[in-house]
Amino acid sequence: KKTAIAWMLGDLQTYDQYIRGDVFDVVICDESGEIVDIVCGFYCYDHAEDEAKSLLEYWNKKELTQ
């Protein structure tokens, strides 16, 4: 019973974030402003920030190897 309630509260929190527009996208652009990567739909700013750091690291390494 406690597990079911915890799941429902989690779903309710996610739905609340969706309704309020509290959803984040990560967009990576090159120096000319062209989009090189985009990931959407993060319901937590911290997760979006972590993904942005990871993508920046990936694209910076890729640029250095070219």
Any residues with CB less than 8 A from the CB of 47 and at least 6 apart, and which?
24
In this predicted structure, what is the pLDDT of residue 1? 85
Query: What phi and psi, each to the nearest 5 degrees, are found at residue 35?
Result: -75, 125
**What does pTM read for this prediction?**
0.70
Torsion angle of alpha carbons 22, 28, 34, 37, nearest 10°? -90
CA–CA distance, 34 with 4 (Å, rounded to integer): 45
CA distances from 63 to 2, 43, 59 (A): 49, 29, 6
Mean pLDDT of 41-56: 93
pLDDT at 53 over 90: yes
